[in-house]
A and B are shown apart, each in its own frame.
Chain A
Amino acid sequence: MLKRILCLTLFALLSAACAAAPAQAPQADTNAATDAGPAVVRIGWAGSPDTLNPGTAVLSEAYTLFELVYDSMYQLQLDGSYTLELADSVDVSDDGLVYTYHIRDGVMFHDGEPLTAQDIAFSYNLYKNQEGFPFLPVYTEFFDTIEAPDDSTVVITLTDAIPNIESQLIFLYVLPEHIWGSLEGQANVEFENTEMIGSGPFKLLEYKQNEFARLGAVKDHFLQGPKVDEVIFQTFENQDALVQALRTGQVDMITEMPNTAAPSLKNAENIQLVSGPPAAPSVTDIILDQVKPENCPPDDGKCTGHPALLDRNVRLALAHATDKQNIIDVVLLGLGSPGLTLIPDSLGVFYNSDLADYAFDIDMANQILDDAGYADTDGDGVREMPDGTNPLIFRMNWPSDSTNAPRMAELLAATWAQIGVKAELQALDPDALTSICCPAFDFDVILWGWGSDPDPNFLLSVMLTDEIPTGNSETGYGNPDYDALYKQQAVELDKDKRIEMVHEMQKIVFDDVVYIIPFYAQSVQAFRTDRFTGWQTDKGKIALEDPSSLLVIEPAK
């Protein structure tokens, strides 16, 4: 009997294998026919795009592919500057409200159709009007009309003059109207876009979700054709396997790795490890609940934060009692830099590096609390409020899916205990954390973080008084001077003046100790030196999967 069961199962298995085989084998054969020894770059990463539809994609892996397969009006360089991509020039009206882009000739989509101004206007209008695209309407918020009077001119009329139209346009990828135009309403949102026809320097050849994406070079791309023939992004669901794949030469580059792998890869043969600020700015923050009773959101606010955190002296003492370098050494194994404000160093010129950080100094922190009247009246090692009530015991929470936060919480609790502040540590499910965070303000301290656009506008808005009831403000901070400066910089068309204002805003929130920023984590990547040369490692930021590297690398001799 058993024999029969086994035979049946074996038969089922074999038929499964056979059923799967023919579907893929011919595909592999066609590949063989077209190329004799192509230069194929294999890149390993730990994620996979959620979808290939630029309107609904969320994950950064999707955006990495979009950057390679699509073109936009501007291209973001690694040094933070922008260059025109689809247009060769732009005229801006004196009032800063009308942008007239002159589109390059001879730009072709991967299916051979020409890319014209109509495609661009169509795409921007789609992003603006399609309610089912959750994020993109933000970028078209100030666009009044987008028109294409002829095949090579796009005119964007704004409702307000804004200083950062480049950063608004870089993520608005230009789609072919002859494909997307036939989709109505909801169909745009549900479109899987598995062909992914774009006009970029790479075209999609083959895609298997959660397995790999295979891109072929568009050698005659109007700006610059890649020197390699193919790029394959392969998904490894576990980062140790990713590192091993690089060691054994199964991939040529990895976009991420656990920091613990960095020391051993440093000495590995034929492998170069690189680290630096990431291309997509990110920041890890220690959120201090300081919402004032008068600012407590009337509908959703619980505002149970510890009253001591409203006092700048207490926040300042906590900052002095935070050993950032130790946190970086322990949590990131040194692969990070101490943070100042919510605006990270990866925002380039907008980052105010002139601020002098609060030194790690337990004595000074104790002195500040002593002077402000917070004394340990009952001798239990924890200070009380100046009126002798309410000991300084802070709830400290972090998202349970964070790998860094638990260790960081322990380190913080240890140094804060030395100044008579007790932290009660508890990880929370990210959803639960959101519900206590904001606009509920039902917490004392949260360890969390942000990812950001290449423009600082969004991160700056997080600290506005107006954002307290919306849930965007996590600290509940409110400062009319800061709010006023924010409004000014948002319409300041002179770039240098705007940078000056943004720096001033950082100084304000740094002086007020709105957040304690333990570190800006670095991007850590590695590549094989014996396979391809030309990886861009000295351009300020580290993003080897960016077109800036993939367009110029060539096989090692």
Chain B
Amino acid sequence: MLNFFALKKIGWAIFTVLFVIVLNFFLFRILPGDPARAGIRDPRLTQEAQQQIRERFGLDKPVINCFESLNPPRLGSCAINPLQTQFFVYIKNLLSGELGISYHTNRPVFDMLRERLWNTVLLIGAGQILSIIVGMALGIVAAWRARTAIDYSALIGSLTAWSLPTFWLGIILLFWGSHNLSLPVGGKLTPGASFPNSWGYVHDALLHMLLPTLTYTIIFVGEYMLIMRSTLLDVLSEDYILTAKAKGLKTFQILKDHALQNAMLPMVTIIALNLGFTVAGAIQIETVFSWPGLGGAIFEAVGRRDYPMLQGAFLLIAVAVVFANLLAELLYSYLDPRIRTET
């Protein structure tokens, strides 16, 4: 039963990724603008040079059978060899693990994504874990001490933090931290610095991570706190909790053995979803702190109509989100057996 359930879920996940691969291709080609000219308003770019760029990146080929171009929409011959269309070249390259060459930097997209992915996972991952831990802890305390001063201050604090504009909080922390604590203003490491040992390296990296991670944690802690608090409050009003109290169990035991496990279901969903989106980075935080992550790269690629980079990045995000979702569903069925029997 479980195997069938898991197989079905995995099948759906693969289907979703395939769908995204197709969608990715057409999505960016519906955007107005010519990649051979985007970002370069230099009329000295002669017609021949533009043609050369188009040929080089395969943009001179029809988008797909029957369509020369999608924006502006231009019909074309349907009776051409599909392998001579941009779409099938894209699929063929993808199947052989090729993500293409960035129009902007002339570098392989795979290399660019790889460099940036680690940076993003490091920063956003740390921020996520911190905000999950702090958010859940706050949520548990607030729910247990519901309608007390602790609850209200945690609630107000979380709501305030959650509604702060990310870039604003980031820049305020940046000014404060660099001025008062002499923390680095941006980047991942001090460029050109020499480190006598690995501790020096780690120390420098941690200093650079501190402010962006703090910003991320403050912004996202509210989300986890609020969800934890409300689901736990629901659970705590159940009769079996009253029974547990009547049995004379300690607070900690009630929370640990009876309440938390049942309150975890919504949390697992939100954590899994957020972890999936981790690879997309956080454009605003990465921009404020000049963190060389994926978010900034995607932002830049949109402006330059850098199709290969966008396709690669979106594929990566889609795979991460779908995978995280799959993981959540499988976890769900483990946490709550009703789910796998019902489906």
Residues of A within 8 A of B (CB): 1-2, 5-6, 9-10, 12-13, 16-17, 19-21, 24-25, 28-29, 31-32, 35, 40, 42, 50-51, 53, 56, 58, 131-132, 134-135, 137-138, 186, 189-190, 192, 205-206, 208-212, 214, 230, 232, 234-238, 240-241, 244-245, 247-248, 250, 401, 429-432, 434-435, 458, 462, 470-472
Question: Once bound together, how far apart are the Cα atoms of A240 and B174, in whole Å?
Answer: 10
CB distance from A366 to the nearest CB of B (A): 36
- Is B147 on the interface with A (CB-CB < 8 A)? no
Q: How far is the CB of A526 from chain B (nearest CB, A)?
A: 15
Give 1 or 0 for each of B177-214: 1 = CB within 8 Å of chain A CB.
01100101111110111111010111001000000000
A32:B195 contact, CB within 8 angstroms: yes
| Contact across chains for A56 and B106 when beta carbons are under 8 A apart | yes
**Nearest-CB residue, chain A, relative to B200:** A28
Distance A192 CA – B112 CA, assembled complex (angstroms): 13
Encoded as 1 (CB less than 8 Å from any A CB) or 0, chain B from 24 to 59 comes to 000000001110011111111110111011001000
Q: Is the Cβ of A472 less than 8 Å from the Cβ of B43? A: yes
Provide the residues of chain A in CB contact with B193, threshold 8 Å: 28, 31
Q: List the one stretch of B13-21, B83-91, B118-126 in contact with chain A.
A: B118-126
Q: Which of B307-334 contact A (CB under 8 A)?
A: 331, 334
Task: Give chain B residues whose Cβ lies under 8 Å from the Cβ of A431.
Answer: 32-34, 37-38, 305
Kindly list chain A residues whose C-beta atoms are within 8 Å of the C-beta of B45: 134-135
12 A-B contacts (beta carbon < 8 Å): A12-B121, A16-B125, A20-B118, A31-B194, A58-B42, A137-B46, A190-B101, A211-B292, A236-B290, A241-B174, A248-B178, A431-B305
B202 touches which of A21, A42, A208, A244 (Cβ 8 Å) = A21
Known: A241-B290, A248-B178. A212 touches B39 (CB 8 A): no
Tell me the complex Cα distance, A362–B120, Å.
56
* Beta-carbon contact of A29 and B287 below 8 Å: no
Contact of B122 among A20, A42, A237, A240 (CB under 8 A): A20
Q: How far is the CA of A267 from the CA of B48 in the complex (A)?
A: 52
Q: Which chain A residue shows the least CB distance to B204? A: A28
B74-108 interface (Cβ within 8 A of A): 101, 104-107
Q: How many A-B residue pairs have CB under 8 A?
A: 189
With an 8 A cutoff between CB atoms, is B218 at the interface?
A: no
What 6 pairs across the A-B complex have the smallest Cβ distances? Answer: A32-B194, A431-B33, A212-B191, A31-B194, A134-B49, A245-B185
A30 to B: closest C-beta gap in Å: 8
Give the contacts of B122-157 with A (CB-CB under 8 A).
Answer: 122, 125-126, 128-129, 132-133
The residue in chain B whose Cβ has the minimal distance to the Cβ of A190 is B106
**Chain A residues with Cβ under 8 A from B264's Cβ?**
1-2
Which chain A residue lies CB-closest to B271? Answer: A5
- Beyond contacts A25-B198, A211-B187, A250-B184: 19 other A-B pairs, Cβ-Cβ < 8 A, are A1-B331, A1-B334, A5-B271, A13-B125, A21-B202, A24-B201, A28-B201, A32-B194, A50-B104, A50-B106, A51-B106, A135-B45, A190-B106, A206-B192, A208-B191, A211-B191, A234-B187, A240-B174, A429-B32
Q: Pick the contact of A209 from B105, B189, B194, B334 — CB < 8 Å?
A: B105
In the complex, the answer to whether B194 meets A28 with C-beta atoms within 8 Å is yes
Query: Which residue on chain A has the smallest CB distance to residue B175?
Result: A244
CB distance from B27 to the nearest CB of A (A): 16
Q: Write out the residue numbers on chain B whose beta carbons fall within 8 Å of the beta carbon of A53.
A: 106
> Which chain A residues border B53 with CB–CB below 8 Å?
132, 134
B276 at the interface (CB under 8 A from A): no
Distance between Cα atoms of A1 and B40 in the complex (Å): 52
Tell me how far the C-beta of A435 lies from the nearest C-beta in chain B, rounded to whole angstroms. Answer: 8
Residue of B nearest to A25 (CB): B201
CB closest residue in chain B, given A251: B185
User: Which A residues touch B48, using CB under 8 A?
Assistant: 131
Instruction: Pick the contact of A137: B49, B112, B118, B296 (CB < 8 A).
Output: B49
The 8 Å CB contact of B201, one of A21, A250, A472, is A21
Binary A-proximity of B264-297 (CB < 8 A = 1, otherwise 0): 1001100100010000000000111110100011
With contacts A135-B45, A431-B33 taken as known, whether A13 is within 8 angstroms of B126 at the C-beta atoms is: yes
- On chain A, the residues within 8 Å of B46 by CB distance are 134, 137-138
A31 contacts across to B, CB distance below 8 A: 192-194
Q: Find chain B residues with CB under 8 A from A9 CB.
A: 125, 128-129, 275
Interface contact B292-A208, CB-CB below 8 Å: yes
Q: Are A210 and B296 in contact (CB under 8 A)?
A: yes
B287 touches which one: A190, A237, A472 (CB < 8 A)? A237
> Of A24, A235, A248, A432, which contacts B189 at CB under 8 A?
A24
Quick one: given A9-B125, A32-B195, are A237 and B290 in contact (CB under 8 Å)? yes
Q: Is the CB of A248 within 8 A of B182?
A: yes
Residue of A nearest to B122 (CB): A16
Assess whether B10 is interfacial by the CB under 8 Å rule. Answer: no
